[in-house]
Structure 1
Amino acid sequence: MRFPNFIGRSIIACTALAGAALLVAPSASMAQGINLADCKGLWFSTSEDFLSRGTRLPGGPVVSDGDLLTFEVGSGSRLCARNADLLRVFDIERYDHGLDAVEQITIDDGAVFIAFSTEIDSVNGAGQFTAGDLLFGNGAVVPNNALLVKFDLPRSLNLGLDAVYIEGAPNEKRDLMAKLSSTSVDELRQNPGLLIDILDGTNTDILFSTEGTPPDVQQPQFLDGDLLSAKNGTIVRSNNSLLPALPSGLPAEGVDYGLDAYTPAIDPIEQVPIELLSIEIQAREGSISDGDALTVGPGVYLRNKDLIASFEPRDTDMGLDALAAGTVVQGCNFYINKISDIDVIDINQITGLFGDQRPFGRDISIDGVLPGSACPEYTTHEFQVRVAVNGGPELPINHAGLNWMRDVGPTCNDNDLYAEDISGWIALTDYWRFAECPDHGYLAAWRSATVAGAQTAVFRVVMREIGTAVETFSAPVRIRVDNEKPNPVDMALFLPGSPPVQFDDQCKIDGMGNDVIIDIRGEIFDEHFSHYTLSWNGNGNVGGPVPATLIQSWPPGSASLNDTGTQPPATDVALGTLNLTQQWDLELDGIDNDDPLPECGFSIRLVAWDRTRNGNFKFAQNDWDLTNSNWEDYQQSFCLVP
């Protein structure tokens, strides 16, 4: 339990807060509340109070863990609203209650309201609100038991409230606030199912995380690191899906990292949706802090020191209790977000595989985000991408001599060489030359075929100030690489009979006046087997796939196939059957009219494919594209008795 902060409330007009907080008059659907439309950027709160030595603050130099702060690239961080301003609608004017969960609610008239939770129960009595309740800027309160009603927990159980995000269009969120403001907290406590009716009626949902884990940590229903849906009573994002690179999740993975804050946002470089979050404990031996704004993975999006730098505190990490995205925020951090055009979030960081357990191969492109030109502190920095194979030393990916061309501004119709020294370092100012051009901003391309066989590769972006030896690193990204062909395939051809008669390469077979029917058996193995194809050829110009066996793959597969090939291992299994006489007729003229088979020139070919996502990087065009997976084949030729 957090103890009240007895710092005196600032008796100031909200407009004195650097133009941030404006009181608005009541409307037909809203009680009086604080309009935060001028609070631009990323909203956040810290876990600890601290003394600001930077910009002079209204009401005194102390920043409270209950104050609402904002961050914008270029202008840094500032105080948006004091805790007392947020709580005034609840007739609380003295005690700081902390600020735990925060959400921005922009309604359709452009007004911006806050939804939030506190660290302590109301000093006016827990009947007004508790630390687990969701509060709204118009005075509405959603009790903790209403948020949890779909999870069938005891009504008296209060699990706290750590993170919140409200789904819905602006007009739907306006309706949600209006309906909640006309429903008392006591009504919702006594009949928590009313919240579900309100959410259904407004087409909204409240996503949230809790402070506690029910009912038993040995067999948890959900974790306090999971993102939950109030409307559906489900886990929307598990702690493990948010942090796949960490041993996150209980009991299987071993650690519950918590979820202190969560908000969707738009990546300003890729212009794609991302998810920002913070966790409750440090990770990776302190390389990730509970004060950092993270992306799913996790990757570090903004260090806590960058979020609070404008306040010039005496330390560099004050924790991060809340996040809410408004105006697009350009992070000044760096991370890898795609490997060979596959989002890192979709790559299992334990196995290094993605999708249907697929590895990577050949030229592997590394995509990522670097500090942009709006981050002036990085004008003197350089970066490189490093790779470590099978736990070996970390080596730079060096493109020197490969003539890597990029479109350059301002017209973006001329090519220029990517400036890179022989050790693989690239100055950020060189990288920024391409920022206004549509040319893709790959960070590196690794020619994995230079390393034989199957292996594990780990990539990181490394940043340093030019001329110095002090390096900082992005979160590592692990992949599985497979440049091996499937094992040599085995194929055997049989004439049906009792017993069936096997014939060898160049063997003449006698159809004895009947249709020539060939049973095809074989053995295939590959650690990442995908599928096989069978085809036939006759007399050099007639042929095609063996019917119904062009692609036999997993899944769905069959009893004789799994994700490593034919089953049981080391055994020939049935792969297909070819009626050569019938197929010759159909391929020759499309009609089954007993066209005579020639004496020689027949062959059957088996090709086995793996699941590797192979790439080809064309440095002269700065372009990566997908190529065929690895394959192995076997072909057998034979003749017929006329």
Structure 2
Amino acid sequence: MRKMLLLITLSLLVLGMLVLSPVALGQRAYPLENCRTGAFSTEEDFMMTRGEPYDGNPYISDGDLLSPSGQLCARNADLLVNFNPAGVAPADLGLDAIDILNFEDRLAAFSTSLDDPFGKFSAGDLLFTDGGMIPNSALVAHFGIKHDIGLDAVQLIGERENIEGFVKRVHEANPEDWDQGLLDQLLDVFDVDIWFSIEGTYWGVENKPILDGDLLSARGFIVAPNSVLLPSDVPAGLPARGVDFGLDAVTSGRRPSDNPMILFSTEILYRGERRFTDGDVLLMGDGIKMRNEDLIAAWHPRADFLGLDALWLLTEPPPLEDPFITHLCGDRSAGDFDGGLVGIGGAGTGLYRNGPPDAAWPDGRPRQPCGRFVPVDGFMPDTGVVRFRVAYRKAGDPYLGVDTHDGIQTSWRIYQRAPFWPFPCTLSGSLSTDAKGWMDAATYQGYKTGALTGGCPNTGLKLAVWNTDGVPGFDPGPADPNGHYVLWLEFDDGAIDREPVEHHLQLDNTLPKINDFKVTLADGTTPVNACGEAPNGEHIFKVYADFYDDYHWGYKLRVRGGDPPAGKTYGWHNYYDGTPAVVNTDRTGTTPTGNTVFLRNIDMNDLGASFTDCCYVLDLWVRDGAIRHSFNKRVTNDVTGANGWWANRFLTFAAAP
């Protein structure tokens, strides 16, 4: 947020010139790597009550860069050191936006809350820690904005190498170059983009507002209006829905995508049914990803809310150098799970997000747990790693260190070259982890590529396959087959280490339960005989049921019988499809829970000429949303939705034309 406090800033600057504290002088060797999994700034200053930052000063300002793990990553003075005159103590100018680009070079893009007292930049300019700067006028040029309208959120989009080349060229630019269209040229040459938000509403030439809650592109279009960023049940967007909630911070994956995962915070809170504050981290179109109290918990402030001004979170795997989990539950990216790619101790539900909101799914697609066999895969370098394992703990349990928690055990059947003519590849070998889940890395790689099996590759090998349902004949699984767990990869490359992130995963191995199932005449009250005397002239029947599952997905009905035998299926009716047949169902089955409710009508005339005076069978199948795989110790196969995991109940009833 822009704070027009230049007079106060200058006063502090003069005071700082008299007494130069270690913090005020700035430190080039600041530990930016402390923020490898996430970084943020608060809206208010506070005192740390536990731990100690790298410079020993427990005072934390709203311009400092913080990690959700409770570590200080940079003082405001560190970020500004290349803009400050030599020998002069820098003022704390606040931190309104942050995008970390390269940890090794301590390269980041950011903006301040206050203008530079030396006149080098304004709070609306985009700054880089190497001393580069893009003026606000260049960022907003395509929107017809002629004045400095501020800068509140920023995210660079593109390949890592291209972004770094772009930043280098920005550093070399002369101030007058920006008025000559240099930004457009650089965006095209390096194939990058800059997403950002502004600090005020601007009415464009078509009398349409550009809101400070819209996510904008430096190429001149709106990436996501405020109405799309927030769920449809929040009155966001002007003029149609009533309120501009602002856009205070944003972070997303760098690779352009039709469905980017965008995390953000707003300028104001909302106290409707879907409550959130202006300090919570929100997921586009969905709701709260992380509450402010969880974001700041590791800092142990004496207040449980400090607001949120700048935000950068790891939303996609870093460049593959060290071992890293990339996929959960088969071929599903870890980043597509809620909490599937968070810092150590980060929050999440562990449910797979089956795509972001779009025109057909304004409230977001359904969420899914995982069950049965859960394949876990990722990157493992060809050399340098002695052994590895996928470790896990129950969500909410504290992390106790490497080689301490349980590990996923997996046993494999391996193809090897037979020692007899014509030397075929036969399923004659085996490969297993030890009791703690450790796998020998060289053997794993050699078996996978075929280098140690006579040229017989075993491409089905994963980092681990978790027997979450306790299937007999396989390695043991977790204590709770329906638990919420956190997974991470540990590896030994001379010393035991781990990936810097972890992955939430919700399990579900309980089938839906059908508590009641009945059919009546069209009046909804008259029961129908199971078999025997049939009500003549009745062809419309009402179906009622009571069923439950923690992660309900849908149901279907099938009536069969008649002469000659025939059948008619109704459904699947998935709870989210918006049809009349799902009005009385939701994410956990029929609603209200525990009540027998109307599902839909069936019409016996759908059987055609087979509808005769007869006894009929009506089947009800209910399935859940769990993602499941089969495993034969060689390969895994996705069997999500297969009929082996449907709950079934049937009844018989009499009917006649």
TM-score (norm 1): 0.53
The amino acid of 1:560's aligned partner reads N
Q: Equivalent of 2:463, from 440, 443, 448?
A: 443
- CA spacing shift, 1:430–1:486, aligned 2, 3 Å: same
Computed over aligned residues only, the root mean square deviation of the Cα atoms, in angstroms, reads 5.9
1:289-368 matches, cutoff 5 A: 296-297=314-315, 301=318, 330-349=320-339, 350-354=348-352, 355=354, 356-368=366-378
Shift of residue 579, structure 1, vs aligned partner: 3.1
Asked if the contact 2:323/2:499 (under 8 Å) is kept, the reply is no
Letter in 2 for 1:422: A
CA contact (8 A) 1:489 1:632 kept: no
1:155 maps to which of 147, 153, 159: 147
What secondary structure, in the 3-state scheme, does the structure 2 residue paired with 1:384 have?
strand
CA distance in 2, matches of 1:369, 1:540: 60
Paired with 1:382 and 1:620, the residues of 2 have a C-alpha distance of: 20
Q: Offset of 1:557 from its aligned partner?
A: 4.2
- SS of the aligned residue for 1:145 comes to helix
Larger radius of gyration: 1
Amino acid at match of 1:576: R
Q: Deviations over 1:6-40 (max 9, x none)?
A: xxxxxxxxxxxxxxxxxxxxxxxxxxxxxxxxxxx
Q: Percent identity?
A: 16
Residue pairs, 1:370-385, within 5 angstroms: 370=380, 372-374=381-383, 376=384, 378=385, 381-385=386-390
Say whether the 8 Å CA contact 1:239–1:256 is kept in structure 2.
Answer: no
Distance of 1:117 and 1:625 partners within structure 2: 46
Q: How does 1:238-317 map to 2 (within 5 A)?
A: 239=250, 241=252, 249=265, 252=276, 296-297=314-315, 301=318
535, 558, 565: which one aligns with 1:535: 558
Q: CA deviation at 1:382?
A: 1.2
Q: Tell me which residue corresponds to 1:143.
A: 135
Alpha-carbon distance in structure 1 between the residues aligned to 2:573 and 2:627: 18
Question: Does 2:625 align with 1:607?
Answer: no
| 1:638 CA displacement | 3.1
CA distance in 1, matches of 2:525, 2:371: 41
Indicate which of 630, 634, 637 corresponds to 1:620: 634
Does structure 1 residue 396 correspond to structure 2 residue 407? yes
CA distance in 2 between counterparts of 1:449 and 1:561 reads 27
- From 419, 427, 430, the equivalent of 2:440 is 427
Q: How far does residue 473 in structure 1 lie from its aligned partner after superposition? A: 4.9
Deviations 1:221-240 (A, max 9, x none): 889xx996213254699746
State the SS of the aligned residue for 2:443: helix
CA distance in 2, matches of 1:495, 1:518: 5
For residues 227 and 387 of structure 1, do their structure 2 counterparts lie closer, same or farther at Cα, with a shift above 3 Å needed? Answer: farther
User: Which secondary structure state, in structure 1, belongs to the residue aligned with residue 507 of structure 2?
Assistant: strand
Residue 522 of structure 1: which of 539, 545, 549 is its match?
545
Deviations 1:170-213 (A, max 9, x none): 9xx99xx99x999944736xxxxx68987999996632579xx9
Letter in 2 for 1:578: I
Q: 2:533 matched to which residue of 1?
A: 508
**Mapped partners of 1:249, 1:407: distance in 2:** 54
Which runs of 5 or more residues in structure 2 are unaligned? 1-8, 14-26, 31-81, 83-97, 202-210, 230-248, 255-259, 270-275, 282-294, 300-311, 340-347, 355-365, 398-403, 418-422, 451-456, 471-478
Would you say the 8 A contact 2:628–2:638 is kept in 1?
Answer: no
The DSSP-based 3-state class of the residue aligned with 2:489 is strand
Map of 1:418 onto structure 2 = 431
Name the CA distance, whole Å, in 1 between partners of 2:110 and 2:480: 55
Residue 475, structure 1, aligned to residue 534, structure 2: no
Structure 1 CA distance, aligned partners of 2:297 and 2:637? 34
Distance 1:337 1:552, change over 3 A: closer
1:392-420 Cα offsets, whole Å, 9 max, x none, are 694221124xx443689xx9956542243
Which residue matches 1:635?
650
- Closer, same or farther: CA 253–445 of 1 in aligned 2, 3 Å: farther
Which residue number corresponds to residue 597 of structure 2?
573
- Residues 500/242 of structure 1: CA separation in 2 closer, same or farther (3 Å cut): same
2:217 maps to which of 203, 223, 229: 229
Q: Which residue of 1 aligns with 2:41?
A: none
* Cα distance per residue 1:26-57 (max 9 Å; x no partner): xxxxxxxxxxxxxxxxxxxxx8359xxxxxxx
Using the alignment, how far apart are the partners of 1:241 and 1:128 within structure 2?
Answer: 26
- Offset of residue 134 of structure 1: 7.6
Q: Residues 531 and 552 of structure 1 are in contact (CA less than 8 Å); yes or no, is this contact kept in structure 2?
A: yes
Distance 1:241 1:407, change over 3 A: farther
Deviation of 1:458 after TM superposition, in Å, equals 1.6
Cα offsets for 1:435-492 (capped at 9, x unmatched): 57571441111111135663212212122357x7x55355221122121122224221
Q: 2-side partners of 1:633 and 1:542: how far apart?
A: 21
Which residue matches 1:563? 587
Q: Give secondary structure in 2 for the equivalent of 1:524.
A: strand
Q: Distance in 2 between matches of 1:405 and 1:186?
A: 61
Question: Which residues of structure 1 form unaligned runs of 5+?
Answer: 4-46, 51-86, 88-99, 105-113, 189-193, 258-281, 287-293, 302-328, 589-594
Change in Cα spacing, 1:412 to 1:445, as seen in structure 2 (3 Å) is: farther
CA spacing shift, 1:529–1:154, aligned 2, 3 Å: farther
**What CA distance in whole angstroms lies between the structure 2 residues aligned with 1:201 and 1:541?**
69
**Distance of 2:161 and 2:250 partners within structure 1:** 26
What is the correspondence of 1:185-204 to structure 2 with a 5 Å cutoff? Answer: 185=177, 187=179
The alpha-carbon deviation at position 566 of structure 1 amounts to 2.6
Output the CA distance in 2 between the equivalents of 1:48 and 1:168: 23
Provide the aligned length of Structure 1 versus Structure 2. 445
In 2, the alpha carbon distance for the partners of 1:295 and 1:412 equals 50
Offset from partner CA, 1:360-399 (integer Å, 9 cap, x none): 11111111222x125x3x3xx2111123346569422112
Amino acid at match of 2:502: P
Structure 2 counterpart of 1:446, one-letter code: W
Q: Conserved in 2, the CA contact under 8 Å of 1:248 and 1:254?
A: no
Cα distance, 1:605 vs structure 2: 0.9
The structure-2 alpha-carbon separation of the partners of 1:248 and 1:448, relative to structure 1 and needing over 3 Å to count, comes to farther
Report deviation, 1:129.
Answer: 11
Instruction: Pick which of 332-341 and 234-243 moved more.
Output: 234-243
Cα 1:413–1:607, aligned 2, differ >3 Å: closer, same or farther?
A: same
Task: Work out which of the residue numbers 507, 515, 520 in structure 2 matches 1:494.
Answer: 520
Q: CA deviation at 1:603?
A: 0.8
What letter matches 2:217 in structure 1? S
State the AA in 1 paired with 2:414.
M
Q: Is the 8 A contact 1:517 1:577 kept in 2?
A: yes
The answer to whether the 8 A contact 2:124-2:149 is kept is no
In structure 2, relative to structure 1, the CA distance for the partners of 1:578 and 1:196 (3 Å cut) is same
Assess, with a 3 A threshold, how the Cα gap between structure 1 residues 159 and 544 changes in structure 2: closer, same or farther: same
Quick check: 1:365–1:444 contact (8 Å CA) kept in 2? yes
Structure 1 pair 358/205, CA: closer, same or farther in 2 (3 Å)?
same
Determine the C-alpha separation between the residues in 2 that align with 1:283 and 1:405.
Answer: 48
Distance change (3 Å), C-alpha of 1:245 and 1:391: farther
1:347 maps to a residue whose letter is F
Amino acid of the structure 1 residue aligned with 2:376: I
- TM-score scaled by length of structure 2: 0.52
Corresponding position: 1:405 with 2:414: yes
Query: What is the aligned counterpart of 2:576 among 554, 566, 575?
Result: 554
Displacement of 1:635: 0.6
| SS at structure 2 position matched to 1:551 | strand
Q: What is the CA-CA distance between 1:613 and the residue it aligns to?
A: 1.3
